[in-house]
Amino acid sequence: MRRRSGGEGSIYQRQQDGLWVGAYQLDGKRAAVYGRTRTEVAEKLRAVQEQARKAGQLPEAGRLTVAEYLQQWLTQAEQRLRPKTLLDYGIMADKHIAPRIGSIRLLKLTPLRVSRFYAALAKDGMSARRRQMVHGLLHKALGDAHRWGLLPNNPAALVDVPRRERHELRLWAPAQVTGFLQAIQAGQGGQYAYLLGFLLASGCRIGEALGLRWGDVDFDAGTVRIERQITEVRCRPIEQAPKTDSGIRTMALPAWGLDLLRRQRTQVNAWRLQSGHAHTWPERVFTTSVGTVPGQRNIRRALHTLCDTLSLPRIRVHDLRHISLSLLAGAGVPVKDLQRRAGHSTPRMTLEVYTHVLGDTDRRAAQALEGIAQ
């Protein structure tokens, strides 16, 4: 063991696993950082000491529990996480993680414990998608703990990610889609009818549609520009940029989609003049009759009411996006073009969601090749 000068700590190698340890003490508090090489540990020690000098205190990894660490991690991550993500992480930490593994000391959290934790969530009936989200939180938070020298490794990175279950998309038949659109064009569907129709025409996400402004619509070119989205956090709308650069895109609309936007503009202008405060009316394409951002619960209610009126199976608002993009995929639109329209960051995401439709396209391609041999 090589000792350092007062307060700087010491660095040594553990015999049982070969890991290097940097132990330090300040104001009566003892803790350690870990690494695979002496140089790595020395760098982590310097970083921790610099943090201690700035904050006036040291992290107590030896006493810190998983729940306590997550609470501190969420506080420091507030500025770099999206509001909806921060809210979801907080709920998962309090509701799912803390009751099961929250009391475990951070340094005692092993890949086996994390794997058993995921298995327990599955046994309780938690969906694979939700377990993936819990894993995402743990992986990110414990990864930071490793990077900051509080853990020798990231336990969540050493376990299998919960596999997502494949669910058949609930999509309407083309005739049902046509009937739905005709009803909207005939004036059915209430104040959100044209919004629902626009989701079919564009295939964009509901948050992207709600973030659309009239300056983003080019009627001459027949396009809309997606540059922002609105996320609902605790029933409060928050405007922000798309998660990835691929979410910023320009999309062409069919003629009937542009016609719906013209009708929406006429409807909004009428609401604006009736309001008595036309000069402060927002420039958003889709608003309520009083100029506020539509609540997603109300949009869902309007969709289900129209479905019931038309004797159509109820679907989610997000399924209108799936229907739009699935129709394009079935029509033979290349995956790369479909990816850009969907705003997916990779073609793989597009293939995973629309493989059931793209598979038909692949069979048509095989049939075309069969003709070569004849």
Query: Does the predicted model carry a pTM greater than 0.85?
Result: no
Q: With respect to residue 320, please indicate whether it lies within any of the assigned structural domains.
A: yes
Q: With respect to residue 366, please indicate whether it lies within any of the assigned structural domains.
A: no
- Read off the CATH number of the domain in which 230 is found: 1.10.443.10
Strands 249-252 and 223-226 turn out to be antiparallel
Q: With respect to residue 124, please indicate whether it lies within any of the assigned structural domains.
A: yes
**Do 178 and 317 reside in the same domain of the chain?**
yes
What tens digit of pLDDT does each residue of 149-164 get? 888 899 999 998 877 6
Q: With respect to residue 361, please indicate whether it lies within any of the assigned structural domains.
A: no
Phi, psi of 215, deg, nearest 5: -70, -15
pLDDT, average across residues 168-182: 87
**Do 27 and 97 reside in the same domain of the chain?**
no
**Do 73 and 33 reside in the same domain of the chain?**
no
Q: With respect to residue 251, please indicate whether it lies within any of the assigned structural domains.
A: yes
Last residue of a domain, which of 326, 343, 369?
Answer: 326
**Do 46 and 70 reside in the same domain of the chain?**
no
CB count within 10 Å of CB 37 equals: 11
pLDDT tier at 78, thresholds 50, 70, 90: confident
d(CA 67, CA 64): 8
Cβ–Cβ < 8 Å for 342, 335:
no
pLDDT at 2: 44
pLDDT tier at 355, thresholds 50, 70, 90: low
Question: Is residue 45 scored above 90 in pLDDT?
Answer: no
**Do 17 and 121 reside in the same domain of the chain?**
no
153 exposure class (CB count in 10 Å sphere: 0-12, 13-18, 19+): middle
**Do 179 and 319 reside in the same domain of the chain?**
yes
**Do 283 and 193 reside in the same domain of the chain?**
yes
pLDDT at 62: 66
Question: Is residue 373 scored above 50 in pLDDT?
Answer: no
**Do 202 and 251 reside in the same domain of the chain?**
yes
User: What is the overall mean pLDDT for the chain?
Assistant: 84
Q: With respect to residue 362, please indicate whether it lies within any of the assigned structural domains.
A: no
State percent of the chain over pLDDT 90. Answer: 49
Question: In this predicted structure, which of 52-56, 121-125, 242-246 has the lowest mean pLDDT?
Answer: 52-56
More confident residue, 339 or 44: 339
- Read off the CATH number of the domain in which 83 is found: 1.10.150.130
- The count of structural domains within the chain is 3
d(CA 324, CA 203): 5
Cβ–Cβ < 8 Å for 92, 133:
yes
Residue at token pair 């075309």: 368
What is the residue type of 311? S
**Do 34 and 76 reside in the same domain of the chain?**
no
**Do 44 and 116 reside in the same domain of the chain?**
no
**Do 80 and 195 reside in the same domain of the chain?**
no
What tens digit of pLDDT does each residue of 223-272 get? 999 999 998 887 788 888 888 888 999 999 999 999 999 999 999 999 99
List beta partners, residue 42. Answer: none
Domain of 134, in residue numbers: 66-158
Q: With respect to residue 163, please indicate whether it lies within any of the assigned structural domains.
A: no
Q: With respect to residue 278, please indicate whether it lies within any of the assigned structural domains.
A: yes
Torsion, Cα 243 330 322 133, to 10 degrees, reads: -60
Strands 223-226 and 229-233 turn out to be unpaired
**Do 181 and 288 reside in the same domain of the chain?**
yes
CB count within 10 Å of CB 136 equals: 16
